[in-house]
Amino acid sequence: MSQPRTCPACGLRSRPPADAEEYDQCFACGWDYDPVRLAFPGAAVAGCDESLAEYQRRLCLEPLPHAAHFERDPAWRPLAPWEALDPLPPDALVYYDALVRPLMPYWIRVPTVKLDLAIWHTAEALRAGLIARPEAEAWLRALFPRLADTHIEALLAHAMFETR
């Protein structure tokens, strides 16, 4: 059997192993794993009352009685405030994409600053007429090879919006 996985809410290696045939709930804090809530950490989606960000804030105020039984993932960190600003999925396709092609956990993803810089540079290059949209798309795909197509499209849409 493989090792327990990291819980996005508390950071403890306390989720069932990937090969376990159990409901995917953290043994330490009780967070129900949901790839959509991980993709949109600021939104309460998928029939849940709390977003991942709200759950993390609540965990800061409550002791975890079972935490002593688990090891914290040294790579884990809580969400930064700007990472919790994700809106609800704009349509069912984005929601479905998060289910079938989950993103890497936020604490392993490309830092937000790098994304912000990529959007700014793309917007500036588009505004100045230095590159066209296909070149911008190729550049973003080269910078962020693990991002899903829908996320590249979202980055391009944001960059195009910035050029207005």
> How much is the pLDDT for 85?
66
* Three-class SS of the chain: CCCCEECCCCCEEEECCCCCCCCCECCCCCCECCHHHHHCCCCCCCCCCCCHHHHHHHHHHCCCCCHHHCCECCCCCCCCHHHHHCCCCCCHHHHHHHHHCCCCCCCCCCCHHHHHHHHHHHHHHHHCCCCCHHHHHHHHHHHCCCCCHHHHHHHHHHHHHHCC
pTM over 0.85: no
pLDDT tens track for 45-83: 756 678 888 888 888 777 788 888 899 888 888 887 667
pLDDT tens track for 134-150: 888 887 777 777 666 77
Domain ranges of the chain: 5-79, 112-162
Banded pLDDT at 107 (limits 50, 70, 90): low
